[in-house]
Amino acid sequence: MSDAPPGLILILEPSLAPPKRNRIRKRLEELGCEVRYIDGGAHPYLEVSGEVLPVRTISVESWPGVVRMVPLSRAYPQVAWGSGRGDFVAPSVVHLPGVGDADPPVSIGAGSFTVLAGPCAVEDAERTVRLATIAKESGATVFRAGAFKPRTSPYAFQGLEGDGLSILREVRAEVGIPIVTEVLDPRHLEMVADVADVLQVGSRNMHNYALLKELGACRHPILLKRGFASSYDEFLLAAEYILSRGNDRVVLCERGVRTTSGTVLDLGAVPELRRRSHLPIVVDPSHGSGSAHRVLPLARAAAAVGADGLLIEIHDDPIAALSDGQQAIAPSALAGLIDDCRAIRNMIESSTTELNPIPSDSSARKD
């Protein structure tokens, strides 16, 4: 028996016949686990260590004789604090080199506050260059715009696709700002990665595991948006798909979850994800609110809650916009928004009120 603490505990039925007990034990051992039998006062217990993660994904509680399975270890060892390949004990940081010699490198996480801004979609070269220039001048350090757009209706504008990527390449060179843009299809990965500094996985694709596996095999940073009806566990497991395949440059993005009364930006996700994971966390108050008038207050709130940055949608002509115009703010409002958020962030960092960013081992065990 290894000395590792058990990763799960099975509570068995009182006076379970030994052959049934042995079938359970044997099956667990076949699956790569070590099992210790405890003769409790009323119930027998099995303390299970070793390869428990696959066991957690099968319905052990439906096995005859099992009363309850109690998982104790983290479901996502690479993404969690204090474990994983790199033994993360400090928050991880995603670094982007500068675009040109004159352009500074960008980092996301661990003390920086990074703003990624731009229009929902690339609509034409002239507007895209103009918006990227304003974004950079306003303090954003990454430019976002979609060339491939996942749209609910087949009759909606689907993005300029390859032409959009060409425009983004031009913007990157001309304005000198790194690019984040969405990849929808594993077949486009090479083409998108050839232009983009950061690859975005949209909310609709957080459960697209075929895509996540490919992203785990590439070297680009990934901006992973939370699925619109996904739990924290599912979100972190999606990140684990990427890290467990070898790419540990992942930024988590909270962008709102669907509720019975519309989409709600879950700012409580930031301290919760922080407690569970070393990955940087940014917030998208644009999609998280769906309405321009709420972007400034929610951006400030995201800074106050401890996010490592923001994803902000800007547009200069709502009547001309081909997607999601109602949540884009005017480019002229961006600089003030960023100033406010940085001021809040500085205030928080200088506060001596305790935050406990890295949990102790024992409390970590409770998820």
Which of the residues 11 through 40 are near a copy of itself (CB under 8 A)?
Answer: 11, 13-14, 23-24, 27, 36, 38, 40
CA distances from 127 to 130, 133, 241, 265, 316 (A): 5, 10, 36, 29, 9
- Choose the stretch contacting a copy of itself; rule: CB under 8 A; options: 96-104, 109-117, 173-181, 349-357: 349-357
Say whether residue 262 binds a copy of itself (CB under 8 A). Answer: yes
Say whether residue 123 binds a copy of itself (CB under 8 A). Answer: no
Q: Which of 63, 82, 170, 193 binds a copy of itself (CB under 8 A)?
A: 63
323 three-state secondary structure:
coil
284 contacts 255 by C-beta, under 8 angstroms: yes
Q: Which of 17, 29, 58, 349 binds a copy of itself (CB under 8 A)?
A: 58
Residue 173 sits at φ, ψ, to 5 deg, of -70, -45
Q: Which is nearer to a copy of itself, 128 or 175 (CB)?
A: 128
**Burial class of residue 116 (count of CB atoms within 10 Å of its CB; 0-12, 13-18, 19+):** buried
Say whether residue 340 binds a copy of itself (CB under 8 A). Answer: yes
CA distances from 299 to 13, 51, 98, 274 (A): 52, 42, 25, 18
Say whether residue 118 binds a copy of itself (CB under 8 A). Answer: no
Say whether residue 351 binds a copy of itself (CB under 8 A). Answer: yes
DSSP line for 196-237: -SEEEE-GGGTT-HHHHHHHHHS-S-EEEEPPTT--HHHHHH
How long is the chain?
Answer: 367
Say whether residue 356 binds a copy of itself (CB under 8 A). Answer: yes
Count of residues engaged in binding a copy of itself, rule: CB under 8 A: 127
Q: Which of 33, 75, 116, 192 binds a copy of itself (CB under 8 A)?
A: 75
Say whether residue 343 binds a copy of itself (CB under 8 A). Answer: yes
Say whether residue 157 binds a copy of itself (CB under 8 A). Answer: yes
Q: Which of 164, 232, 249, 280 binds a copy of itself (CB under 8 A)?
A: 232
Q: Which is nearer to a copy of itself, 172 or 276 (CB)?
A: 276
- Choose the stretch contacting a copy of itself; rule: CB under 8 A; options: 91-99, 109-117, 171-179, 343-351: 343-351
- Choose the stretch contacting a copy of itself; rule: CB under 8 A; options: 111-119, 162-170, 190-198, 315-323: 315-323
Say whether residue 358 binds a copy of itself (CB under 8 A). Answer: no
Say whether residue 311 binds a copy of itself (CB under 8 A). Answer: no
Q: Which of 168, 177, 303, 314 binds a copy of itself (CB under 8 A)?
A: 303
Q: Which of 42, 87, 126, 194 binds a copy of itself (CB under 8 A)?
A: 42
Distance, CA of 226 to CA of 234 (rounded, Å):
9
Amino acid identity, position 273:
L
Say whether residue 102 binds a copy of itself (CB under 8 A). Answer: no
DSSP line for 139-208: T--EEE-BSS---SSTTS----THHHHHHHHHHIIIII--EEEE---GGGHHHHHTT-SEEEE-GGGTT-
Say whether residue 90 binds a copy of itself (CB under 8 A). Answer: no
Q: Which is nearer to a copy of itself, 197 or 254 (CB)?
A: 254
User: At its nearest, how many Å lie between a copy of itself and the CB of residue 282?
Assistant: 15
Q: Which of 99, 134, 270, 312 binds a copy of itself (CB under 8 A)?
A: 270
> Residue 244 belongs to what H/E stretch?
helix 232-244
- β-pair partners for 9: 47, 70
CA distances from 44 to 3, 11, 12, 15, 72 (A): 21, 6, 5, 8, 18
Amino acid identity, position 327:
Q
Q: Which of 21, 83, 124, 186 binds a copy of itself (CB under 8 A)?
A: 186
Distance, CA of 295 to CA of 49 (rounded, Å):
47
Say whether residue 244 binds a copy of itself (CB under 8 A). Answer: yes
265 contacts 289 by C-beta, under 8 angstroms: yes
Q: Which is nearer to a copy of itself, 172 or 300 (CB)?
A: 300
